[in-house]
Structure 1
């Protein structure tokens, strides 16, 4: 159904060959898997192999797929040779356990003098275009140790898929099946405010954990979610590899008690890393989560994510351009930003700040534990910025696929745990330009606990100046459709009608009111984000994440060609 709006008074204005050195050998052989299992009776084994400590390990080829048991790789037997490649031979790469890449040097080992690997000093994982990596155990996942790298470079016609056996082999997985396996975790040597509290004391010995120690490159060691692994360092420009045209499906299993993984976790990953055209689909926890670091992303997709589609904290500072988030049913927020969280001081540095342009956030109006695919993570909502998180949002569209665009809050700023997030809005550190919020409950500001009771979010989006708590600012060209201004089938448009068997996610060519009058002109009201200092942004030509003239999701992204079943 075409998303329609009736505007009775639009608020517009200032509101987006194997050797012991560890090189991989992919030549057809009869090498065994773990030194004990034959290659499925075939004289040609196309599976990945590596040599370590004089022993060769290779997957078992069953004539169709490559199978890798726990003697080949597991959570207790990581691959630590120089490189390994998984080729596209026409079948699946199937893992009994986890795929752990690289040597995890934890705090104890580092303080004893074992060098913390830096970018490229660890193991390099190569995955060819068109490959599908399948995980049979619910607690299996991919972990890239800091200093190691992943190069998963697919294409629109040959994306790389990470998924569970219920999906790729049994064919039984549905959109309700979140958390069938763990997910993808990359650990980097970037900065995190868990290693620095802004008082020049750090959390270890010395002036700051970012500084070199007597026997190592830094003293920053944060334990990752999942099984014990370590991230953090002092290099926000570090390179952890490339993800291009990659889809992670059905992830988010609770791999240890009380600890669910995300579809894609980026722990202190640096800006030298490339993440472009990547999707999280049907995950139990978050879609993309960044703990510190400064990785930039473009053309990312999150569909049917159970918790937050994009989540950032711990001093993350990065740019995202062209993001499409669709809540198909139960799910929590399109974006959740925190600086610290928990009982930690919200003012710790480095301060968390996301810059995002060209987001399309489509909520569902489904509450927690309700809907066709229920989630216990919270209600379906738009972006929430809180706990000291800063943000800049440009050229973005937040709306709802529900009838009359019925919604929970579509943009929220909260200061219930500390004043820093709203303080940043008041000071002009956080910015919003050229955004459209089209929801029945468009805005919410949780103020009052720290003296920000007079802050007016609507006026802040419009340029401020209404009172001392909402001073004048540089925000411009934001349009908000508020409660009472929306009606179904009233002649206005926000999203293109994708038909009864698809999900609306493309921005309409013209954002019109009920009388057909444009209320946001995409030719004149967009903000040129390419002018922002130090950014990777391109000057956009349309509002939101994608439109009919630039449908970059076509051919590789999944879950958008299904009927909407809230």
Structure 2
């Protein structure tokens, strides 16, 4: 049995210093998965670079060289079963970054059995001895002209020029559709220590005319999903083992997310803020400065499951299950949080767990503290637990590292369907 296992820890509490993934003899084997990558590696490879300004269709294996930008009314169609990888580079510039601008669209519709996969080039080289790493594929960015609480000339960190502006007054902005899509080993450092990382899936000023459904983001640098303003709705989202936060909301995002899972792997890499681990299930700010604005960051999340680690000793590598701060607001209905040092924390003037939440349907465990801050006092006391062992909250076995994994009855989004992947090992 030969393994390509996503382990970044030689020693559990020093692992965060490593930005590589090493082999291990103790893996979590939910199902055989890597055979599809070995098979796919024989598909024809199409190199792509620069700007896409007319309708284009991708299939087979696409190799992105640097940044590919879709603009000028063009629609990029990606057929089911297509794999997209990056062309490796040794520079600080991102490679394998797909940007759908305000003037472009994406039509990426996979299927349950043939998802569209953005992934590591190391999984598609036909070599069983190479190991995927976070940051092997820079990510996907969707930009739109839906409302934000920042100027409409704002760009995503590291991208410059009017092609990369986002935000405006078009609540019905339609950036296209992404359905049955996986994004793996994403994220990118651009000018490290100067400009922050690019997230695996970034949605900036994206409007409610856009469709996002059945999307899994795994083993990414920085956050899995990041929403900068806009009001796009999304369904059936999975964030698995990010370096930083699972879901990040800011600059006026006001959409609704229905059926979302955040799942930790305590053997993955973990981000530090100074010497403090700060990976959160949800991180939510109104804006980076925390100022009050006419448009407030206030998502609604229905049917939310955030699963950290089973024991307090592993939990020290994480921050908060839900972290609301800097004038941000959140409405949640039917939510379970377990396996973080703090279950939910609301911090700062103007921040709140909104009174429009169904408090009785919120269940929170924290190793040290279950809930604190504005709005959390309305959660029934029986729904708040603390202790060194995380609560199952009625789930079968929700902790990824602890054997056969199953979050039922909270499996609202086909979390173990054939389109998902949690194990990237080769089984021979």
Give the TM-score normalised by the residue count of structure 2.
0.77
Instruction: Verify: 1:495 aligned to 2:395, yes or no.
Output: yes
Distance 1:561 1:173, change over 3 A: closer
Equivalent position to 1:461, from 376, 379, 384 = 379
Equivalent position to 2:407, from 506, 524, 528 = 506
Instruction: Verify: 1:482 aligned to 2:412, yes or no.
Output: no
Matches within 5 A, 1:44-83: 64-68=43-47, 73-74=49-50, 78-81=51-54, 83=55
Q: Shift in Å at residue 222 of structure 1?
A: 1.1
2:297 is aligned to 352
Distance 1:265 1:559 in 2: 21
2:181 is aligned to 246
1:27 is aligned to none
Equivalent position to 1:224, from 156, 159, 164 = 156
Deviations for 1:384-434, whole angstroms, at most 9, x for unmatched residues? 11111111111111112xxxxxx410111111xxx1114x74xx3566340
Aligned residues of 2:229 and 2:297 also touching (Cα < 8 A):
yes
Instruction: Verify: 1:157 aligned to 2:117, yes or no.
Output: no
Instruction: Verify: 1:396 aligned to 2:335, yes or no.
Output: yes
Instruction: Verify: 1:414 aligned to 2:350, yes or no.
Output: no
Aligned residues of 1:65 and 1:94 also touching (Cα < 8 A):
no
Q: Shift in Å at residue 445 of structure 1?
A: 2.8
Distance 1:133 1:383, change over 3 A: same
Matched residue of 2:150: which SS?
A: helix
Distance 1:409 1:127 in 2: 41
2:420 is aligned to 557
Distance 1:233 1:503 in 2: 46
Matched residue of 2:159: which SS?
A: coil
Could you list the runs of 5+ residues in structure 2 that have no partner in the other structure? 1-40, 271-278
Equivalent position to 1:130, from 74, 77, 81 = 81
Aligned residues of 2:254 and 2:299 also touching (Cα < 8 A):
yes
Give the TM-score normalised by the residue count of structure 1.
0.59
Deviations for 1:332-353, whole angstroms, at most 9, x for unmatched residues? 11111110113xx521121111
Matched residue of 2:203: which SS?
A: strand
C-alpha root-mean-square deviation of aligned residues, in Å? 3.0
Distance 1:389 1:482, change over 3 A: same
Deviations for 1:106-130, whole angstroms, at most 9, x for unmatched residues? xxxxxxxxxxxxxxxx211000011
Alignment size in residue pairs: 363
1:99 is aligned to 68
Instruction: Verify: 1:271 aligned to 2:208, yes or no.
Output: yes
Distance 1:487 1:101, change over 3 A: closer
Aligned residues of 1:390 and 1:430 also touching (Cα < 8 A):
no
Aligned residues of 1:239 and 1:273 also touching (Cα < 8 A):
yes
Distance 2:58 2:88 in 1: 20
Matches within 5 A, 1:75-224: 78-81=51-54, 83-87=55-59, 91-103=60-72, 122-137=73-88, 139-140=94-95, 141-169=97-125, 170=127, 174=131, 177-195=133-151, 220-224=152-156
Q: Shift in Å at residue 494 of structure 1?
A: 2.9
Deviations for 1:438-483, whole angstroms, at most 9, x for unmatched residues? 333342436xxxxxxxx683x32139xxxxxxxxxxxxxx712234
Q: Shift in Å at residue 188 of structure 1?
A: 0.5
Matched residue of 2:378: which SS?
A: helix
Matched residue of 1:283: which SS?
A: coil
Distance 1:287 1:500 in 2: 19
Aligned residues of 1:360 and 1:505 also touching (Cα < 8 A):
no
Aligned residues of 2:309 and 2:390 also touching (Cα < 8 A):
no
Could you list the runs of 5+ residues in structure 1 that have no partner in the other structure? 1-61, 104-121, 196-219, 401-406, 447-454, 464-477, 509-543
> Which structure is higher in strand share?
2
Distance 1:366 1:483, change over 3 A: closer
Deviations for 1:89-110, whole angstroms, at most 9, x for unmatched residues? xx4222333322115xxxxxxx
Matched residue of 1:166: which SS?
A: helix
Matched residue of 2:99: which SS?
A: strand
